[in-house]
C-alpha cells in the first residue's frame, strides 16, 4: 500500500531533550516536506526537500533540522525542544517538485514538550 | 503576498442540508487550488484540485468546487451533507518558489453535521 509513515504517533518529552520524528514514504517520491499544525493557524511548512541531499527552509524552520540521505526517509530533528514546539506535525510527499502536485500526508505526530 | 482565507472556522449543517465552505485566495500567478480533508486522528487527504482545465471541479464523496477568477474564490460545496462528512477542511494554493513549489494553507474549517 502506498503510504507515508510517521513515527511515533504521540510523543511527550521535556525541554531540551533531543528527539527525532521519523518519516518514510514507499512511493519513490522526489519531494518531501514537514508541516506543523496549530489551532487557528492551519498548516505551516517547516522544511522541505526536492531530492536526496537537497533541503531548504520553509516558513517556520527555527528550532528544527532535517536530513535527506535516502530518497524514502526525511526525519525531523529537534535538537533542544521547547514548549512552543508543542504541536501536531505532519510529513508529506509528492511525486515531483513540480507545481500542482498532490501531497500525500502521514497520520501525524502529536508532540508535547513540557 | 499569496494567501488563503477560509471564512468560518466552524460550520454546522443538518444531515441532508447543503454544505458550503468558503475559500478566497490571493495569488500573483495563475493558481493551483486544492481542498484537503482531515478526518479525526488522520492526516490530510486530497478532496479535489483545480488546475485550469475546468472551472467546476468534482472531487471525492460528492464534493465539488467552483473556481471564480473575478471573485478570487474557490468555495467547496456538497448538495446533501452526510454524518461521515464531519471533518476539518483545508483550502490551499500551490505557488512556485525556488525551483519547486510550496503550499499555502488556509486556517481550516471544521464541519459539524447534526442528525
Show the cell assigned to A9. Answer: 504517533
DSSP letters spanning A69-106: SSSSB--EEESS--GGG-EEEEEEEESSSSTTPPPEE-
Helices (H), B6-106: none
Distance of CA A3 to the CA centre of its chain: 15
Residue of B nearest to A97 (CA): B100
Residues of A with Cβ-Cβ distance to B43 under 8 angstroms:
4, 90, 92, 105-108
Residue of A nearest to B108 (CA): A42
Q: What is the pLDDT of residues B13-26, one digit of tens each?
A: 999 999 999 999 98
* Any A CB within 8 A of B17 CB: no
DSSP letters spanning B42-54: S-EEEEEEE-SS-
Cβ distance A34 to A89 under 8 Å? Answer: yes
Q: Measured between alpha carbons, how far is B74 from B32 in angstroms, rounded to an integer?
A: 11
Q: What is the pLDDT of residues A15-45, one digit of tens each?
A: 999 999 999 999 999 999 999 999 889 999 9
- pLDDT value at residue B114: 96
Beta bridge partners of A33: A48, A92
* Any A CB within 8 A of B100 CB: yes
Look at A58 and B102 and tell me if their CB atoms are within 8 Å.
yes
Among partner residues B41, B45, B101, which is closest to A99 by beta-carbon distance?
A: B101
Cβ distance B67 to B99 under 8 Å? Answer: no
Provide the number of CB pairs (under 8 Å) joining chain A to chain B.
62
Q: Measured between alpha carbons, how far is B67 from B71 in angstroms, rounded to an integer?
A: 9
Residue of A nearest to B47 (CA): A102
Residues of B with Cβ-Cβ distance to A60 under 8 angstroms:
none
pLDDT > 80? residue A95: yes
Residues of A with Cβ-Cβ distance to B96 under 8 angstroms:
99
Q: What is the pLDDT of residues A54-88, one digit of tens each?
A: 999 999 999 999 999 999 999 999 999 999 999 99
Look at B100 and A108 and tell me if their CB atoms are within 8 Å.
no
The residue assigned the cell 529537534 is A78
Nearest to A87 by CA among A26, A34, A31, A17: A34
Q: How far is A92 from chain B (nearest CA, A)?
A: 9
- pLDDT value at residue B102: 86
Higher pLDDT, B69 or B11: B11
pLDDT > 90? residue B2: no
Show the cell assigned to B63. Answer: 464534493
Amino acid at each position: 500500500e502506498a503510504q507515508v509513515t510517521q513515527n511515533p504517533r504521540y510523543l511527550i518529552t521535556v525541554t531540551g531533550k533531543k528527539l527525532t520524528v521519523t518519516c518514510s514514504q514507499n512511493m519513490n517520491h522526489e519531494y518531501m516536506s514537514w508541516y506543523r499544525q496549530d489551532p487557528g493557524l492551519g498548516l505551516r511548512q517547516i522544511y522541505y526537500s526536492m531530492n536526496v541531499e537537497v533541503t531548504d527552509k520553509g516558513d517556520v524552520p527555527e528550532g528544527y533540522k532535517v536530513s535527506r540521505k535516502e530518497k524514502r526517509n526525511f526525519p525531523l530533528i529537534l535538537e533542544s525542544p521547547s514548549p512552543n514546539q508543542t504541536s501536531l506535525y505532519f510529513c508529506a510527499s509528492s511525486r515531483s517538485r513540480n507545481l500542482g502536485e498532490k501531497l500525500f500526508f502521514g497520520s501525524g505526530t502529536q508532540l508535547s514538550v513540557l | 503576498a499569496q494567501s488563503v482565507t477560509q471564512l468560518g472556522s466552524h460550520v454546522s449543517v443538518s444531515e441532508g442540508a447543503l454544505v458550503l465552505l468558503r475559500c478566497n485566495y490571493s495569488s500573483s500567478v495563475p493558481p493551483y487550488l486544492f481542498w484537503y480533508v482531515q478526518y479525526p486522528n488522520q492526516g490530510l487527504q486530497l478532496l479535489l484540485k483545480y488546475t485550469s482545465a475546468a472551472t467546476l471541479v468534482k472531487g471525492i464523496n460528492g464534493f465539488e468546487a467552483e473556481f471564480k477568477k473575478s471573485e478570487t474564490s474557490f468555495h467547496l460545496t456538497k448538495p446533501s451533507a452526510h454524518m461521515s462528512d464531519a471533518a476539518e477542511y483545508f483550502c490551499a494554493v500551490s505557488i512556485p518558489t525556488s525551483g519547486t513549489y510550496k503550499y499555502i494553507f488556509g486556517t481550516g474549517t471544521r464541519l459539524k453535521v447534526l442528525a
